[in-house]
Structure 1
């Protein structure tokens, strides 16, 4: 037999590290040469041992798995198999991982992890073998090395308010596809215009908007540059562009920008929130939903400073309590609300603060 496939397991769970090591070491053609609880330790092990394949979790201390994957693929391209509870097929985390260069993905079992991993053992081994044969190359995007802020897209310049019309401005990431559905489905046909930045690859945003449109009483569509923002409509940022709130004459309009990614994302929630702070100020209502990272935190604070009233999804109902947590930490949030109550809370606040009485 030839040389064994060298595998490094990266997972913050000691149980998962042990289970995956056992799965790997019981195969005659592969060996777990190291197991690391976080990306910083993994980085040293990778330098030392030069593995053929890395298995990688997403939620970890010190640096999340997607950040680590992006850096790894830029600096030392290595076949990576994502194994995480967040990488179910079709999820935005799975799509982002593949976009960043992961060879394949496996979802962790949700119940009875030990038995579940054993059930998946042969699939894991087969995917490691496949990954070991994969040809991976460095990420080509030069912007990946630069962490731009919203300043790269538009300056922070609050304008005098020209309208009294209310708008709802929403940001979401990991888990956001289902959270947005729960938030939008109850919205009445006369709800204020809604602008949404959801981290999602560009090939999925249009079909996602179309799917929501079939479920909602409001109209949901992918935003187009220059189109007027109407009540009873929600506009989702296309995956290739930042979405900004603009004003043309007496009308609010959607603006799209191909400026560099902000916080690694285009569309960026920070960019959308800053544009709302600039243009709508106290006439905007900010909503930040489940998501990994901190995109949207600074922008939400800017909205609040401009007079907006802001809501964050609570930890218990989040898939990942990252973006809402960061927005709360910087002081950008007025109310922390469960997802199931979010639509009603937003509409109730509107009704009691100069908006029309809207009912779910």
Structure 2
């Protein structure tokens, strides 16, 4: 740890570009802080922290995967940046890798709250610097996984399996997780998985309980029951997984429920989300589309679907951003995946009293 009379040396990781730029400017105006003049590439945080002998590391939530190595080679206090609320229990577990707190979302300099935010942030950073550190003796048995930059949910019923197959065939590799929910009996879930595997090089898996959402993976929700997304437990690393739930539905044939899946995605992950409602009977997906739109996500529906009830329900409720033909939907998804970047929007409110 640095001498009180010398500036605190800080290494800032791969934060969202605008956040990193403003944070660097803020700290460089403070005599008590000295920012390392380079941005470490992924996988280089530990090496650069040791090279520059820094006193503090600021990382984003996905940078947690490098902190076990950091605790081995150059143990220093760590604070995370996240545009979304991070669970206190998870961070308390991560103190073994010297993660002591988090801050965010960022407040832009032009905001009337910025002056208070600046003092709040500097006090939080100083508090973290004063925390004790632990020298890790070994890497964890199970390391973290990369977080998807966005979530795409494909939902359908009658005629939906063929529509999903057509869409998936043209999807490009991306950092988004792709979730598929089609109303099917449980015995036909693996058949749909096998069909999708034949038309894409992307990994396709049957979404058993506890399946982790990872970039580029297509997860098919099992038929005959309901699946939601929840925060993974039993690990200090931030991740999300599938979970089976019991839920009474007015239409018991709507299994897995597209509404429940979409609602859980936006409530749990906070990631940019795209809902895609394909061919099907009924109105499942309409309330899920509503939840996605309320959280700033996007919804598209299939035009001229084999069975138009589900897409038309979303369209008539006013929750669809666009109605697209089946051949145009993959291109829309690919463009969404390119744009999906968590934490890009700056939020103009915060609570200095927020604690872990």
TM-score normalised by L of structure 1: 0.51
- State the 1:280 CA deviation: 3.0
Aligned 8 A contact 1:286 1:311 in 2: yes
**Which of 230, 250, 269 pairs up with 1:280?**
269
Structure 2 CA distance for aligned equivalents of residues 292 and 240 of structure 1: 16
Larger mean CA deviation between 187-196 and 238-247 belongs to: 187-196
Q: What secondary structure is seen at the aligned counterpart in 2 of 1:182?
A: helix
Equivalent position of 1:348 in the other structure: 335
Where in structure 2 are there 5+ consecutive unaligned residues?
A: 1-82, 87-146, 343-356
Aligned 8 A contact 2:148 2:177 in 1: no
Equivalent position of 2:245 in the other structure: 257
| CA offset digits 1:204-225 (Å, max 9, x no partner) | 1112112211221111121011
Q: What secondary structure is seen at the aligned counterpart in 2 of 1:197?
A: strand
Q: What secondary structure is seen at the aligned counterpart in 1 of 2:154?
A: strand
Note if 1:245 corresponds to 2:234: no
Note if 1:331 corresponds to 2:315: no
- State the 1:228 CA deviation: 0.9
Equivalent position of 1:26 in the other structure: none
Q: What secondary structure is seen at the aligned counterpart in 1 of 2:165?
A: helix
- State the 1:327 CA deviation: 0.8
The structure-2 alpha-carbon separation of the partners of 1:209 and 1:292, relative to structure 1 and needing over 3 Å to count, comes to: same
- State the 1:353 CA deviation: 4.9
Structure 2 CA distance for aligned equivalents of residues 306 and 160 of structure 1: 12
Q: What secondary structure is seen at the aligned counterpart in 2 of 1:345?
A: helix
Aligned 8 A contact 2:176 2:337 in 1: no
Note if 1:309 corresponds to 2:293: no
Aligned 8 A contact 2:165 2:195 in 1: no
Structure 1 CA distance for aligned equivalents of residues 340 and 185 of structure 2: 36
| CA offset digits 1:1-27 (Å, max 9, x no partner) | xxxxxxxxxxxxxxxxxxxxxxxxxxx
Aligned 8 A contact 1:167 1:192 in 2: yes
Structure 2 CA distance for aligned equivalents of residues 204 and 281 of structure 1: 31
Structure 2 CA distance for aligned equivalents of residues 230 and 164 of structure 1: 5
Aligned 8 A contact 1:282 1:309 in 2: no
Query: Whose relative contact order is higher, 1 or 2, with alpha carbons under 8 Å and at least 6 apart?
Result: 2
Equivalent position of 1:267 in the other structure: 256
Aligned 8 A contact 1:291 1:323 in 2: yes
| CA offset digits 1:31-69 (Å, max 9, x no partner) | xxxxxxxxxxxxxxxxxxxxxxxxxxxxxxxxxxxxxxx
Aligned 8 A contact 2:149 2:340 in 1: no
Structure 2 CA distance for aligned equivalents of residues 349 and 215 of structure 1: 21
Note if 1:178 corresponds to 2:162: yes
Q: State the number of aligned residues.
A: 195
The structure-2 alpha-carbon separation of the partners of 1:327 and 1:227, relative to structure 1 and needing over 3 Å to count, comes to: same
Where in structure 1 are there 5+ consecutive unaligned residues?
A: 1-158, 356-360
TM-score normalised by L of structure 2: 0.51
Equivalent position of 1:298 in the other structure: 287
- State the 1:266 CA deviation: 2.0
The structure-2 alpha-carbon separation of the partners of 1:337 and 1:237, relative to structure 1 and needing over 3 Å to count, comes to: same
- State the 1:190 CA deviation: 3.1
Aligned 8 A contact 2:158 2:307 in 1: yes
| CA offset digits 1:118-151 (Å, max 9, x no partner) | xxxxxxxxxxxxxxxxxxxxxxxxxxxxxxxxxx
Equivalent position of 2:74 in the other structure: none
Structure 2 CA distance for aligned equivalents of residues 353 and 234 of structure 1: 17
The structure-2 alpha-carbon separation of the partners of 1:299 and 1:262, relative to structure 1 and needing over 3 Å to count, comes to: farther
| CA offset digits 1:174-224 (Å, max 9, x no partner) | 111110011111112335111111001111111211221122111112101
Structure 1 CA distance for aligned equivalents of residues 270 and 291 of structure 2: 9
Q: What secondary structure is seen at the aligned counterpart in 2 of 1:328?
A: helix
Aligned 8 A contact 2:148 2:175 in 1: no
